[in-house]
Structure 1
Amino acid sequence: MSASSAARRLTAVALVTGSVVAAAALPASAVQNRAPDRQQVVISDVQYNAPGPDTRSNRSLNGEWVDITNRSRQSVDLKGWTLRNSKGDRYTFRHLRLNGHSTVKVHTGSGRDTRHDVYQDRRGHIWDNRSDRATLSDRRGSVVDTESWGRGRDHDRGDDRGHDRDRDRDRGHDRDRDRDRDRGHGRGRGHDRGDERGHDRGRDRDRGDERGNDRGNDRGNHQR
């Protein structure tokens, strides 16, 4: 073995050994950061109908809320995230880091923000008791989660499909009635043609009888 070949092999072994040592020396946090992000932030609960009459008092307003839950183990910075209703009224989260496996309650009225309760500072109820949709979006505007209740758009589409089916059914009945009417007219026309043919045959028979009578008269005259 030449000296140059031995040197190249020693260099290769040193590089591999150094890579293994460097990987082993990486902290556990660096390895975890390479793992795919599995954060799951969802709308876990909605109290859209505040207990008691809607008096618009601060107590009544704060009885209306939406729970946002972080189901992952990592904390999530909610700064710039938004929560809005179906009309487009929105609340923007301020400085709030939601810890893993934690929930923050978004109240409609006024109050002092904490890690577990934040307030929209509104003077009127924002969520419709009959039908509405809560939409949670991240700071880029991408929808993270939604929660609907009451008569939603899917029900309306179902009603539209029902009306369409009724209209199609009515059109089918109209077509059936038209066919029956045409068949009835066709049968009537057939009877009329049959009657006309019968009259024509009767007239031909009468003409034949007249010709027979004429021949009989001619023979009688010749014999005389």
Structure 2
Amino acid sequence: MKRRRSFRDRRAGGARLAAELSHRSWHDPLVLGLPRGGVVVAYVVADVLGAPLDVAVARKIGAPGHPEFGVGAVTSSGEPTYDGRSLRSLGLTPGDLREACAAEKEEARRRERVYLRGREPLPRAGRDVILVDDGLATGVTARAAARMLRRDRPRSLTFAAPVCAPEAAIGLKAEVDDVVCVLRPERFRAVGEWYADFGQTTDEEVIDLLQ
């Protein structure tokens, strides 16, 4: 028997997440979506909270031969973040991933240029920043983004997603002030399993939402 999906699509996940976040008190909130799919969720959250929307770009570093399996992540600046347990299990070192890291850093820079369209990112210092994605699997991309955002000195930094792997949510608390998840299923395998429609989001969709 096929299991019923928890969210119709990313917008529905965003509505559920926004309901959780709307019960809290925020100081000058800023909602940042992790492109691409996280921006769709973040758009709904920002709309409900009456907060501005922007992006925080971080790129997954995939395992050799299995790019969908993230063993690390990198932003457009700063050092990469790696998942030590994943590296050990695959017998890899950061040096083995140097070329992949450089390629993903360049892609992060490209996406920032595309999404920001020549403008500066919205100010983050002194604000309650809410970093949003469509889900949390290993958590390595969220950790890389959080470390980048900490340099901008927000008043607080919260990560939020409709569905999170419990272990990843616990691990992420070392990087942020709070982790908010609608669902933390014990049997978690992939983010897409919890959405009926988990189609790929395009750059054009992200640009439209930001506008």
> TM class, shorter-chain normalised?
under 0.3
Higher relative contact order (CA closer than 8 Å, sequence separation 6+): 2
Q: TM-score, length-normalised on structure 1?
A: 0.21
State the TM-score, normalizing by the size of structure 2: 0.22
**Is the radius of gyration larger for structure 1 or structure 2?**
1
Question: Relative to total residues, which structure has the larger helix share, 1 or 2?
Answer: 1
